[in-house]
Amino acid sequence: MCLVCEAKTVKRTPYTDECIGIDVVISKLATLSTGGVIENPKLYREAEKRLAKAQQAMSRKKRGSHRRKKAVQRVAELHRKARNQRHDYLHQWSRRLANAYETILFEDLAPSNLSRQAKPKQDEESGHYLLNGARVKPGFNQSLVDAGWHHFITLCQYKVAEAGTLQVVHVDPRYTSQICSGCDTVRKKTLSERWHSCQCGYELDRDHNATRNIKALWLGRSLQDAQASREAHA
């Protein structure tokens, strides 16, 4: 038997710029170097009340009973619905980016490390366990799951691989939030400071500033690589 497959040509819309920097954040899914924002719909948050009600109903059912089984299925169904909605949302955005840019730039972050469970710490003198943010961390983890950073980046990688001529690049995240993208000087900020304001007069959202630095780092590295290549072949 001989199978013949016709390869489909990937159609791309003209891109407005060859690369785009992206900063994934908790409050929204991502901030773009263009100044645009991809909002995080917080799908699990919207379903939180329905889930809580379904889980309470499940806890009241006798283990092993038919009603308990139906309640478990209901909870699983609500989780599955939220996951599917999130996948569709991320799929649409990753396709839009792949159609618009040749290079998609992300910070080289590990969401799995950020969402790791906080370990309890014991005070050596009193023997009591110290506060370590464990109560806050589950909500933070849920936001990570809700935003779907890793899934979003994976979908972008899949889309660019499908196109063949595109690429996803991970850039060193160090100081991208602290350096002024207007004058390249260091403007140190605490995590709570969400607005970048530099003495040079350059002001913008902290995350937008970071994405501009992500893009600048990649463009600078690309120029260095191109220059090194020319010198090697000179």
pLDDT digit string, tens, across residues 102-149: 899 998 876 555 554 445 444 343 343 333 444 444 554 555 555 678
pLDDT digits (tens, 9 = 90+) for 168-186: 999 888 889 899 999 988 9
Catalytic residue among 6, 17, 48, 107, which?
107
Catalytic residue among 23, 46, 48, 146, which?
23
pLDDT tier, 78 (very low <50, low <70, confident <90, very high otherwise): confident
116 or 65: whose pLDDT is higher?
65
User: What is residue 86's predicted lDDT score, i.e. its pLDDT?
Assistant: 86
Of the candidate ranges 29-33, 68-72, 85-89, 136-140, the one whose mean pLDDT is the lowest:
136-140
Q: Is residue 172 annotated as part of the catalytic site, yes or no? A: no
Q: Average pLDDT in the 60-67 region?
A: 85
Q: Average pLDDT in the 208-234 region?
A: 75
Q: Is residue 23 annotated as part of the catalytic site, yes or no? A: yes
Nearest to 90 by CA among 140, 33, 154, 138: 154
User: What is residue 131's predicted lDDT score, i.e. its pLDDT?
Assistant: 39
DSSP character string of 122-160: E-TTT-PEEP-STTTHHHHHHHHHHHTHHHHHHHHHHHH
pLDDT digits (tens, 9 = 90+) for 12-63: 444 445 899 999 877 788 999 999 999 887 776 777 778 788 888 888 888 8
User: What is residue 125's predicted lDDT score, i.e. its pLDDT?
Assistant: 37
Residue boundaries of the structural domains of the chain: 19-116+133-232
User: What is residue 62's predicted lDDT score, i.e. its pLDDT?
Assistant: 83
User: What is residue 223's predicted lDDT score, i.e. its pLDDT?
Assistant: 55
Instruction: Kindly list the distances between the CA atom of residue 32 and the CA atoms of 201, 205, 211, in Å, as whole numbers in the listed order.
Output: 21, 11, 6
b vs e for 119-140, b when ≥16 Cβ sit within 10 Å of the residue's Cβ? eeeeeeeeeeeeeeeeeeeeee
User: What is residue 209's predicted lDDT score, i.e. its pLDDT?
Assistant: 94
Catalytic residue among 102, 207, 225, 231, which?
207
b vs e for 66-99, b when ≥16 Cβ sit within 10 Å of the residue's Cβ? eebeebeebbeebeeebeeebeebbeebbeebbb
H helices of 36-148, in order, are: 43-46, 48-59, 66-100, 111-114, 137-147
